Structure 1
Amino acid sequence: MFSPTKEKVFMGQNLIWVMILLGQIHGYKSCIQKERMALLEIKKHMIAVAKEGESNFVFPTWTNDTKSDCCRWEEVKCNRSSGRVTVISFGLMYMKESSLLNLSLLHPFEDVRILDLGWNRFSGLFDAVEGNKSLSRLRKLEILFLDLNEFSSSIFPFLNAATSLTKLSLKANNMDGPVPVKELRDLTNLEVLDMSWNRFNDSIPVQESFPLRNLRALSLRNNNFSSSMGLQGKFAHIFHISRICKLKNLQELDLSGNKLVGHFPLCLTNLTRLRVLDLSSNQLTGSIPSSLSNLESLEYLSLLDNNFEGFFSFGSLTKLSMLRVFKIQLVPTFSYQNLLIICFSWICQ
């Protein structure tokens, strides 16, 4: 028989083993100290660039309390078995104008997969030691959100170093000029690229091919692309859609909300893997080609708010068995009527 003292020791030891066993079953470990301290450095940096009076709202759960597990902090997620940070989101903050993000603060996070740096007012990136090679240190980074900042096209050399990226979102920044083809050439793993709601206003240079051959989704929605979509070479700023037509793996393409003129670009009908195609809110003219029937994987097609004319047979869509949404706007032959929007229930439901 155990004495009361020995029985307490025995029960205490058993309790410890039960706790260890439960931890192993659930695969949970607290975050590693190096990354915990790195998160606190990020907080310090963000407080320094926050607007006056906003510092109390910067990562309030990120504390110096040694009992606080950083894997349970807001905007942070960890691998349950390793305790390493895999997701960091900066959330919505109010930064001072022309604030810069020091990328070297992210280097300790060797297993980070997702970075969401959106909804701030960052105007640039810097790293005093690594320079524009900084993001190459994040070898497992797959998804990067930089939406709703004030970044210009000057950040692309930094982004080109993040060669493990599969998704990059740059919506609603201050980017303009030509599409930065050269600055993206090393992102060979990229599958999703969103550069919508910027001010790109020039072509992909004639001598450049579009290097991102693994792209599955591309959005250039609501930019300032203009002039002809043709290949005549008569205009100073031609948006050479033929470069995009070489991206044979594309499944989603959004060029809506630009100033594109000319006929429907026939080379798009060779992108037979397309599921989504949006050319709405441009200035396209002429007839809609019957070769749309080549796009047998198409599920969503919008040609709204253009200037198409002539005869269009809905019979050409019979091969599109996957089509669920079709939006089109035609000018009717009756002069006294306004534009007619046609959308059949069997397609749009």
Structure 2
Amino acid sequence: MQQQRRALVMLMVLVLHVISTTTTQVCCCLLEEKRALLDFKASINETRYAHLLLPSWTNINGSENGVDEEASSSDCCNWEGVKCSNTTGRIVELQLRNLRHNIYKEAFYENRDWYLNMSTFLSLTHLQALDLGYNNFQSGVEDCGQLASLENLESLNLDYNYFNISIIPCITAIPALKTLSLAGNYFLTGLFSVEDCGQLASLENLESLNLDYNGFNISIIPCVTSIPALKTLSLAGNNLEGVFPVEDCGQLASLENLESLNLDYNGFNISIIPCVTSIPALKTLSLAGNNLEGVFPVEDCGQLASLENLESLNLDDNYFNISIIPCITAIPALKTLSLAENNLEGVFPVEEFNHLTQLKNLNLSYTGLQGPLSFKELKLEKLEVLNLEGTQMKELLSIEVMTSLKALSLSGIGINDSSILEEKSMSDFSLDKKKWNSQQKVEQSSIQNT
């Protein structure tokens, strides 16, 4: 009997413990953090369309300036763009992207200056992710040196604003930053100073950096290569043109953890190849829209083959001829390959492509490749997406053997799509270019997340 009582008491204690732990979730955000959000909204100083700017961000009495006790029943964790921790009630994420779109609608780029007062975020000490992209904030940034207090901030997106180079010391003050995107800030141009380089190197935890479309010149390379933990780097659409300096090649090789590199639309010539092939862990490489042309040097072929981990390669919109094919097909782990809009005139080199046994996505659109092509000879057993749009492939034979194929794009080559579908007889088969694009993005995303 005594043992039963003891067991009952223990059971009651356990039940009370479970109840207490499941009811300790905080229901509302802190008053101090609510004040910070309202201060941020007020600092934008939008007068004409104030009622359309973050309309859920308001006190219970409708006031938008300051916070009083009456507002404490209004939970800012339910405001648009705000995410709070379920256990602490502290704000951990702010998604404040493209705020102008909701205000100006058709007049999205109306010339109204917004200025960012970063000091309004200083009390959000549990903040982990902040997205302020596409807001056209002007170059002035107030009190940003105090951002070091945001010791939990790991992701910062400031894409498509009007910040100048003075933003760099503000960002590098954030100690835990892992992901940083500054794409499309039109005043981050030209020469990167030695001081700025050193400050970037202080971002010891930074793993992903996007500086697309800023107008940087080649002097940015030593700066970004000084970031030790970098895994993803995108410098598309800058002025990194011409011959790649030999010393910068060696610096790229120092990025031992780099897995994804995007250098699209920079005007590089063929001298970039030995530099990128020196990066040991590279899985994704994009060099679309550069001046990579003509016969591919034999020595560069061997260097491409050294990229043992490379799974995705994009060389779209260059000037390569068909001599590039044997070089690329020597890359053993390749899963996604895009060579669209090159000068690959000639017969489809089946034997060369058969070396790519892991290939899933292949884009050869607008390359001038010629047929006929027999799929019985093409031994790509894992191929899921094939884009032959705008080529000279006048005849495709035995497509029924491609059991793994899910999407095929043939527009502009004079083949009857319906006959291909009938021969393939697959309910999920698609001849849509959009399917190619979506499949390619999914594949590249999965590679970068591995």
Is 1:89 matched up with 2:95? yes
- Indicate how the Cα distance of structure 1 residues 265 and 102 shifts in structure 2: closer, same or farther if over 3 A, else same: same
Name 2:279's counterpart in structure 1: 271
Name 2:58's counterpart in structure 1: 63
Say which SS state the counterpart of residue 166 (structure 2) adopts: helix
Say which SS state the counterpart of residue 269 (structure 2) adopts: strand
Matches of 1:98 and 1:181 in 2, distance apart?
30
- Indicate how the Cα distance of structure 1 residues 333 and 64 shifts in structure 2: closer, same or farther if over 3 A, else same: closer
Mean Cα deviation higher: 174-183 or 188-197? 174-183
Mean Cα deviation higher: 88-97 or 167-176? 88-97
Q: Is the Cα contact below 8 Å between 1:100 and 1:124 reproduced in 2?
A: yes
Name 2:208's counterpart in structure 1: 192
Q: Is the Cα contact below 8 Å between 1:86 and 1:111 reproduced in 2?
A: yes
Q: CA deviation at 1:298?
A: 1.6
Matches of 1:324 and 1:261 in 2, distance apart?
23
Name 1:237's counterpart in structure 2: none
Q: Is the Cα contact below 8 Å between 2:180 and 2:208 reproduced in 1?
A: yes
Q: CA deviation at 1:97?
A: 4.3
Q: CA deviation at 1:132?
A: 4.5
Mean Cα deviation higher: 313-322 or 107-116? 313-322
What amino acid is aligned across from residue 197 of structure 2 in structure 1? V
Q: Is the Cα contact below 8 Å between 1:264 and 1:289 reproduced in 2?
A: no
- Indicate how the Cα distance of structure 1 residues 331 and 318 shifts in structure 2: closer, same or farther if over 3 A, else same: closer
What amino acid is aligned across from residue 275 of structure 1 in structure 2? K
What amino acid is aligned across from residue 60 of structure 1 in structure 2? P
**Pairing partner for 2:191 from 178, 187, 203:** 178
Matches within 5 A, 1:133-152: 133-152=145-164
Q: CA deviation at 1:82?
A: 0.6
**Pairing partner for 1:223 from 218, 228, 238:** 238
RMSD over aligned Cα, in angstroms?
3.0
- Indicate how the Cα distance of structure 1 residues 230 and 42 shifts in structure 2: closer, same or farther if over 3 A, else same: closer
Number of positions where the alignment pairs a residue of Structure 1 with one of Structure 2:
314
Q: CA deviation at 1:243?
A: 2.4
What amino acid is aligned across from residue 138 of structure 1 in structure 2? L
Name 2:345's counterpart in structure 1: 332
Matches within 5 A, 1:34-49: 34-46=32-44, 48=45
Name 1:258's counterpart in structure 2: 266
Which structure has more helix as a fraction of its residues? 2
Is 1:72 matched up with 2:72? no
Q: Which one has more relative contact order, counting CA pairs under 8 Å at least 6 apart?
A: 1
Matches of 1:304 and 1:172 in 2, distance apart?
22
Matches of 2:274 and 2:331 in 1, distance apart?
18
Matches of 1:265 and 1:316 in 2, distance apart?
12
Say which SS state the counterpart of residue 182 (structure 1) adopts: helix
- Indicate how the Cα distance of structure 1 residues 347 and 196 shifts in structure 2: closer, same or farther if over 3 A, else same: farther
Matches of 1:23 and 1:32 in 2, distance apart?
20
Q: Is the Cα contact below 8 Å between 2:93 and 2:129 reproduced in 1?
A: yes
Say which SS state the counterpart of residue 163 (structure 2) adopts: coil
Q: Deviations over 1:287-316 (max 9, x none)?
A: 152321222222210122223357345376
Q: CA deviation at 1:266?
A: 1.2
Q: CA deviation at 1:54?
A: 1.8
Say which SS state the counterpart of residue 193 (structure 1) adopts: strand
Which structure has more strand as a fraction of its residues? 1
Matches of 2:20 and 2:58 in 1, distance apart?
27
Q: Deviations over 1:54-85 (max 9, x none)?
A: 21111111121122111111110001111100
Is 1:29 matched up with 2:27? yes
What amino acid is aligned across from residue 277 of structure 1 in structure 2? L
**Pairing partner for 1:305 from 280, 303, 317:** 317
Mean Cα deviation higher: 249-258 or 176-185? 176-185
Mean Cα deviation higher: 250-259 or 131-140? 131-140
Mean Cα deviation higher: 174-183 or 148-157? 174-183
Q: CA deviation at 1:117?
A: 0.9
Matches of 1:276 and 1:86 in 2, distance apart?
31
Say which SS state the counterpart of residue 135 (structure 1) adopts: helix
Name 2:363's counterpart in structure 1: none
Normalising to structure 2: TM-score of the pair? 0.63
Name 2:126's counterpart in structure 1: 111
Say which SS state the counterpart of residue 199 (structure 1) adopts: coil
Matches of 2:339 and 2:284 in 1, distance apart?
12
Q: Deviations over 1:27-63 (max 9, x none)?
A: 34311111112111112212x1x2x532111111112
Q: Is the Cα contact below 8 Å between 1:143 and 1:166 reproduced in 2?
A: yes
Q: Is the Cα contact below 8 Å between 2:322 and 2:345 reproduced in 1?
A: no
Matches of 1:200 and 1:257 in 2, distance apart?
12
Matches of 1:316 and 1:158 in 2, distance apart?
42
Q: CA deviation at 1:339?
A: 4.9
Q: Is the Cα contact below 8 Å between 1:181 and 1:210 reproduced in 2?
A: no
Matches of 1:330 and 1:214 in 2, distance apart?
38
Q: CA deviation at 1:324?
A: 2.6
Matches of 2:156 and 2:312 in 1, distance apart?
26
Q: Deviations over 1:189-246 (max 9, x none)?
A: 100000112211342477x682112100000011122121142x9xxxxxx3442232
